Chains A and B, each alone.
Chain A
């Protein structure tokens, strides 16, 4: 434990960049004062003193061109998002955690999204909730801010990145939270394009992280999962794999396990061999572009400076 906090912080950030991470920031666990008890950093590591939040960008053209004519394909987006990018994130998380352990500290790498408690759990009120939110960690680490859709938008890449985190008891120096120009101007594109009508701006909610309070729309996570997790809405991706059948959720009302599962198994029977090779990516993510990045045809050069490539 010889390195001073400033030097240790520099080393951790450099290690993240050496492992292809394009964004890295440090959050103070005190910024989770408004979060449910069980999803705070201290719930995972009682003596937590910092959260390292980091992100790797999606290739710009892979993201923007997905589904477009004439290739009409989302295969690269699916495979790289869910396999390669996910593994690069967890590899970086492991290396950061191991490095902090070598320096004499405790560190816990958190999962990339894909592990959920489907129903409310103990005093966690939300459904479809991970044990820790990498996007909230990223906001707490100053990497960006929450948009109306309650997802994080960064000034460098907008929505085109994926996050992971490491919780540690190392005394890393926290970054200031983002206070730049608003990254979400309530353009409502996310609301309009959602094919399952999961985002309801008529039911605003507040979410406080550190000194910032964000107003976000209520998101029906069951409706979102109907498409995102089970690939049942053709237009949100499966059609580009050849799945012509679409199984929209009921127009209104609550979705239950039984309703979703019955429809899911029906889809599997009817779609056949292709069912295992489709993908949906939230239209809200794909359509969201912060004001200063609209019309850009590639990432700003200054955004690509940190990682080796």
Chain B
């Protein structure tokens, strides 16, 4: 087996060669606040580390989607949901294969599937089998904002994450302790088309030595727009589909979603196949030090894991 320090530098290199912009290593004991079925050790009993990686969105593709004369979010849709996901999973495969070649075990975690309903003793709906957001923060890449998503010093919320769980003894990166990246500006709460956040109800998420306070979110209200695209304001109108179906007051059920989808299909016809809904909470989230900046290179250099080791 290759020396652990050398492996880490090579893991970062492999990730960078696979177009990852951020790479960090999390120790598995930083996941203690996560449900035991979703921890790294649930996937690999002898897990010792998680490699968290992120790929940034092209800035103009993200920021200008729907706001320029083109009035289009088609690039954002197709790159986010197809190409960027594919590149993230190829990167995860490459890191996994590299670790295997060094004699360790590794499991690349997925980023597309959910369990719609509570599963066994996992009480929440719409859960993945692994929490990439917690992994990113545990790997020192950023911190959780009020909306519960990671904000990084480099790209704010403009990146997608993926993770690899491994039993390789990779040295963890320190958890981020720089200036706050979320100043509770409340934009995420105010701009959510579905009013999914309840900032008066907070929950705490402890990751390593940090504890974050995030707003309670009604995940079914979020998915009403984000996944089922039932609110034209969130993006479908830009695709030519001006159909909004309002959710019921109170808890949303699966039957409500299915009924609303049928109604959208009746009104929208073929266009319902070709629409996209963005996440206003993330699009309107700009960390304090990024506000007013016009292009990616305006950001300040940051000592990301790769950069810290001369791999950037």
Binding site for B on A (CB under 8 A): 20, 57, 59-62, 65, 70-73, 75-76, 78-80, 83-85, 87-88, 241-242, 272-274, 277, 297-299, 301, 304, 307, 309
Contact = CB atoms under 8 A, between A and B. Distances in A.
A81 B273 CA distance: 25
17 contacts: A59-B97, A60-B100, A60-B105, A61-B105, A75-B110, A75-B129, A76-B109, A76-B110, A79-B89, A83-B112, A84-B86, A84-B108, A88-B90, A272-B254, A274-B117, A277-B116, A309-B14
Interface in B70-109: 86, 89-90, 92-94, 96-98, 100-101, 103-109
A103 B117 CA distance: 54
A241 B106 contact: no
A301 B109 CA distance: 23
Nearest to B228: A273
B44 A61 contact: yes
Which A-B residue pairs are the 5 nearest by beta carbons?
A: A71-B42, A73-B129, A79-B110, A309-B98, A61-B105
Contact of A71 (B43, B90, B96, B97): B43
Nearest to B35: A70
B93 A71 contact: no
A274 B103 CA distance: 37
A303 to B, nearest CB: 10
Contacts of A277: 113-116
Contact of B113 (A57, A71, A79): A79
Contacts of B129: 71, 73, 75-76
Contacts of B254: 272-273
Contacts of B105: 60-61, 297-298
Interface in B22-77: 36-38, 42-44
Given A59-B107, A62-B108, A71-B43, A84 B89 contact: yes
Contacts of A88: 90, 93
Given A60-B100, A60-B105, A242 B116 contact: yes
A273 B113 contact: no
B108 A75 contact: no
A309 B101 contact: yes
Among A57, A70, A272, the one with the most B-chain Cβ atoms within 10 Å of its Cβ is A70
A307 B97 CA distance: 9
A56 B43 CA distance: 22
A274 B107 contact: no
Nearest to A242: B115
B217 interface: no
Contact of A59 (B100, B103, B257): B100
B14 to A, nearest CB: 6
A74 to B, nearest CB: 9
Contacts of A304: 100-101
Nearest to B38: A71
A242 B117 contact: yes
B291 interface: no
B302 interface: no
Interface string B218-253: 000000000000000000000000000000000000
B120 interface: yes
Contacts of A76: 43, 107-110, 129
Interface string B110-144: 11111111011000000011100000000000000
A84 B93 contact: yes
A65 B107 CA distance: 9
Contacts of B104: 298
B89 A80 contact: yes
Nearest to A91: B90
A299 B103 CA distance: 8
A304 B257 CA distance: 47
B271 interface: no
Contacts of B107: 59, 61-62, 65, 76
